[in-house]
Chain A
Amino acid sequence: TQLLEQSPQFLSIQEGENLTVYCNSSSVFSSLQWYRQEPGEGPVLLVTVVTGGEVKKLKRLTFQFGDARKDSSLHITAAQPGDTGLYLCAGARGSSNTGKLIFGQGTTLQVKP
Chain B
Amino acid sequence: EAGVTQFPSHSVIEKGQTVTLRCDPISGHDNLYWYRRVMGKEIKFLLHFVKESKQDESGMPNNRFLAERTGGTYSTLKVQPAELEDSGVYFCASSRSLGEGDTEAFFGQGTRLTVV
Contact = CB atoms under 8 A, between A and B. Distances in A.
Contact of A45 (B4, B31, B104): B104
Nearest to A42: B107
B74 interface: no
Contacts of B45: 100-102
Contacts of A101: 35, 43, 45, 105
> How many residues of A sit at the interface, in one of the four size bands?
20 to 34
Interface stretch (A13-21, A56-64, A67-75, A103-111): A103-111
B79 interface: no
Contacts of A98: 95, 103-105
B48 interface: yes
Return the 3 tightest CB-CB contacts between A and B, nearest first: A42-B107, A99-B105, A103-B43
30 contacts: A42-B4, A42-B93, A42-B108, A42-B110, A43-B43, A43-B91, A43-B107, A45-B106, A48-B104, A97-B48, A98-B95, A98-B104, A98-B105, A99-B31, A99-B33, A99-B48, A99-B93, A99-B94, A99-B103, A99-B105, A100-B33, A100-B56, A101-B35, A101-B45, A102-B45, A103-B35, A103-B42, A103-B43, A103-B44, A105-B41
